[in-house]
Amino acid sequence: MIRGSMVALITPFNEDGSVNYKRLRELIDWHVDQQTDAILVLGTTAETPTLTVSEEDEIARISIEQAKGRVPIIVGSGSNNTMVAIEQSLKYEKMGADGLLVITPYYNKTSKAGMVNHFMQVADAVHTPVYVYNVPGRTGVSLTYEALAEISQHKNIVGIKEASGNMSLICKFSKLINENFNVYSGNDDINVALMSMGGAGSISVMANILPKEVHDIAMACQNGDFETARKMQLKYLDFINALFIETNPIPIKEAMNLAGLNVGGYRLPLCPMADDTKAVLKAEMEKLGII
């Protein structure tokens, strides 16, 4: 059971738009130094829909190799095709992934029974721990409490990245927390709120630029110091909101580049920030002394 801050890692690009594998290795090392508790690659923030299969495989391979066991590497292996999700999960398991993030099947808009069977079949196929990913703003479908109650009973399904932002649903999901299953915040603006319900940590976008701070928030919650965690959450709230002023990961990559982390640009259909939203992001960074 991973506890603390997992970074939803961006994919760095070179000027020509190719994946910057050298920078990826450097980011892995930096996160280890900054006390990030686990690293997620090939998630939403990684611009995975625009990566080729060979690029995905190389990102996963390099991340696992560079981590050298110092920090767990979780690899996004989901698909709206159950057979593909199984194939990818087996491939990344063989590479040595410490965990697999499997998204709810998007576009197909399956029934509760189809949703449950999708996750059960993926989890049956592998021995690596599986994290369910619920992000209805991206997929057009949300897990229900009843579906997750069944899914969470699988011995190989250890948690959910909950990114609906629906606190009522999160409270219901929190009823399922036990020694074998936990809930992780997928929205930086409610990290502390979710962890106050017993959640084990966060899978964070902000951790791409403030990894130590996100780790410290999670540790304060784990230690029961919610007053410190609350103050930190509110300190960074306006910056968090600015990180989602345009579609993720556009603002976080812009912020990283402004801070000198040099992660390159985007792949279409994502593109650079508009001048007005970039000005808002920059102002929030200046307030916090990030730049």
Strands 182-185 and 201-204: what pairing?
Answer: parallel
Query: Which pair of tokens denotes residue 156?
Result: 């190989």
Write out the catalytic residue numbers. 133, 161
Q: Which amino acid is at 182?
A: N
**Under 8 Å CB-to-CB from 74, ≥6 apart: which residues?**
2, 6, 38, 39, 40, 41, 97, 98, 99, 100, 101, 131
Query: Which pair of tokens denotes residue 39?
Result: 């690293």
155 — phi, psi (to 5°)?
-65, -20
**Under 8 Å CB-to-CB from 184, ≥6 apart: which residues?**
6, 131, 159, 160, 161, 162, 194, 199, 200, 201, 202, 203
84 dihedral zone (left: phi>0; alpha: psi -120 to 50; beta): alpha
**CB-count exposure of residue 58 (10 Å: 0-12, 13-18, 19+):** middle
Q: How far apart are CA 117 and CA 105, in angstroms?
A: 11
**Under 8 Å CB-to-CB from 150, ≥6 apart: which residues?**
116
